[in-house]
Amino acid sequence: MQVAPSILSADFGNLARDVQEICDAGCDLVHVDIMDGHFVPNLTIGPVVVSAIAKAATKPLDIHLMVENNTFFVELFAPLKPQYISFHIEEEKHPHRLIQKIRSLGIKPCIVLNPNTIPEELEYILEDLDMVLLMSVNPGFGGQTFIESVLPKAKKLNEMRKRLNPECLIQVDGGVSDKNIHALKEAGVDVVVAGSYVFKHEDRAKAIKSLQI
């Protein structure tokens, strides 16, 4: 299981220190949540701060867009060379076109599904993706309760990808901890995002290791 700590729960007064700490602790990716105050009722950071994160990080960035104008934000963050850019299918009229654009910029494309969006939405697009992100909370805030229905959904997606694109990774974001990590693994999940569990843990390296099962 790969682990991508979400810096949303980091100490923003000591951001570079916290980013270095999770990278030194052996995380796999650094998850960066971009919220625009429109698609979700919260506002986070822009390219100035993300470029400071990129400078401090020794692991690849995983950018999760929660925004209305996906193309604008893809262009804004592409120069920072993240490994992944994820966008919500609920907010994109032309997902196929955007996937091609992200790939043409040398970045791996990922589509995000809100808790109520069915995986069958991806039937004709899964073969073009490097990763699918299943939200296990409603996007917008850290520290929320894990929505259990993501488990059967991940199982269904796991069956779909075996048929359509075995290389495509399954990522889950929201309320992940040592309490649900085994069920996530069993459901076929490859990558978890964890914000509050990692950053509020007294030993962050231990928290990361407890998810790398």
Residues contributing to the site for Zn ion (CB under 5 A): 33, 64, 173
CB of 150 to ligand DX5, least distance (A): 12
The correct pick among 3, 9, 21, 28 for binding ligand DX5 (CB under 6 A) is 9
Cβ neighbours of residue 127 under 8 Å, at least 6 residues apart?
164, 165
- Interaction between residue 31 and ligand DX5 (CB under 6 A): yes
Q: Measured from the CB atom, is 119 or 142 closer to ligand DX5?
A: 142
Whether the CB-CB separation of 19 and 42 falls below 8 Å is answered with no
37 carries a ligand binding annotation: no
- Interaction between residue 193 and ligand DX5 (CB under 6 A): yes
What is the side-by-side strand order in the sheet with 2-5? 2-5, 191-194, 169-173, 131-135, 108-113, 84-88, 61-66, 30-35
CA distance 201 to 41: 26
* Given the residues 18, 28, 62, 173, the one annotated as active site: 173
Q: How many Cα atoms within 13 Å fall on the side-chain side of residue 113? A: 21
- Interaction between residue 62 and ligand DX5 (CB under 6 A): no
Q: Which does 105 bind (CB under 5 to 8 A by kind): Zn ion, ligand DX5, none?
A: none
- Interaction between residue 95 and ligand DX5 (CB under 6 A): no
- 119 φ/ψ angles, rounded to the nearest 5 degrees: -65, -25
Q: Does 173 participate in catalysis according to the annotation?
A: yes
Q: Is 172 helix (H, G, I), strand (E, B) or coil?
A: strand
12 carries a ligand binding annotation: no
Residues with catalytic function: 33, 173
Binding site as annotated, residues for a divalent metal cation: 31, 33, 64, 173
